[in-house]
Amino acid sequence: MEPLEMMVDGAENQCPSFSGSGGAYSDDMEDDAWQMVQKKGNQFVVNDEPFYVNGFNTYWLMVFAADDSTRGKVSEVFQQASAVGLTVCRTWAFNDGQWRALQKSPSVYDEVVFKALDFVVNEAKKYKIRLILSLTNNWEAYGGKAQYVKWGKAAGLNLTSDDQFFSHPTLKSYYKAHVKTVLNRVNTFTNMTYKEDPTIFAWELMNEPRCTLDPSGDTLQAWIEEMAVFVKSIDPKHLVEIGSEGFYGVSSPNRFQYNPNTYAQQVGTDFIRNHQVLGIDFASVHIYADSWISPTISDAHLQFTKSWMEAHIEDAEEYLGMPVLFSEFGVSANDPGYSSSFRDTLISTVYKTLLNSTKIGGGGAGSLLWQLFPEGTDYMDDGYAVVLSKSPSTSNIISLHSTRLAIFNSVCSWHCRWGCKKKHVLDVFLYRDDL
């Protein structure tokens, strides 16, 4: 008990640092300390011990790393994230046919941009940050399914909807070729294939897949089934997730009450059914009350966030038997009524809802803030950017949550089932708000 109490006391005195040496930089990491993340029941584990996640999104890392003038921002955001204890970053492993494209046309790649992605993976490991790499986009940003359809039309295919990305054999073959290329990529910095690298936490099939062409959900379901097995056939070691927003579909009408609006059940996604697919290891859910409920800030946003999270944690535990990661959440500074204090309250609501699951070893496995930016990247801000060095109160909330999870992960092994003397001091620390 004494070492644990010392850890708790020490944590109360921690403050994030944003100087060049503030992050947990490590050139040489022992192999036994850097193992693949795995799933055990409804939890993530590393070396057979729980791995509850506090993480972030920074989607543009590869594009920034491709330019010498902006590459330093990649290291900067990893350093700042590490300084507040963030352990997982979600970012894009695609840029289809756009400026600074990774994939310029089907199966044709820009080696400079691929080396930039190599740099991102290598740099993440130096700061002890693992990566969720998304493989394409539902939206037009960075190409996505619309670009695959453009390529198909250029090849003479008769296509009338971007949603045919999910069903047309040629477009599916383009996507599979991209998946195969990325997973088999040999990192030019580490000489290790991506599919063997523990720095990669998981593969994400697509950012926010929707198929409004088929509201029944059958088309998207078939695509998920096909692609999950395909990814696993190339890389059976890494975890795989869909990238879904979490909307309930026609297979679970009893959960419609939790959807943010009636439109959500018409976009071809089906949270429970989609995640019962062979090869999908954990559930992904996004939280955007300001996009889905109302852009005007109100307490209804907080109420929705809590009920949305609790419903999906219950699903993960009772129906799916897997962890659930809330892989995007945030609030836009452009929303009417926005304030930094509301953002802090929203983040705290997400963290406290997760802690209610963490303290009983539950399926609420973590969250990834949308999105973390270093200074000097304001021109990329979609309204949701969090610049830690300019947001001390937000940084403190993030840092305290990281410390809570780090202590929980380090003192609670899988085998003890949380039935030990450590429980009381953990409960005290998990709910202390002072930093």
Count of C-beta atoms within a 10 Å radius of residue 212: 14
CB 231 within 8 A of CB 205: yes
- Judge whether 208 counts as a catalytic residue: yes
Short-list 270, 161, 163, 247, CA closest to 211? 163
Distance between CA atoms of 177 and 272, rounded to whole angstroms? 28
Q: Which two tokens stand for residue 336?
A: 């009417």
Which tokens go with 131?
């990566």
Cβ atoms of 202 and 281 within 8 Å: the answer is yes
Please report where in the chains the tokens 């998990």 appear, as a residue. 430
Report CA-CA distances (Å) from 112 to 101, 109, 188, 399, 417: 10, 9, 11, 35, 48
**Spatial CA neighbour of 208 closest among 276, 154, 145, 119:** 145
- Candidates 327, 342, 246; CA nearest to 290 is 342
Joined tokens for residue 366: 């973590």
- Which of 76, 123, 208, 317 is labelled catalytic? 208
Q: What region, left, alpha or beta, does residue 53 occupy, with left being phi > 0 and alpha being psi -120 to 50 degrees? A: beta
> Cis ω on the peptide bond leading into residue 371 (within 30° of 0)?
yes
Q: What is d(CA 292, CA 288) in angstroms, rounded to the nearest whole number?
A: 6
Give Rg (Cα) of the chain: 21
Helices (H), 131-259: 144-154, 169-183, 218-234
Of the candidates 76, 245, 317, 328, the residue annotated as catalytic is 328
d(CA 409, CA 391): 27
Phi-psi region of 191 (alpha: psi -120 to 50; beta: other; left: phi over 0): left
Query: Quick one: DSSP state of residue 366?
Result: E
- Which residues are the active-site residues? 208, 328
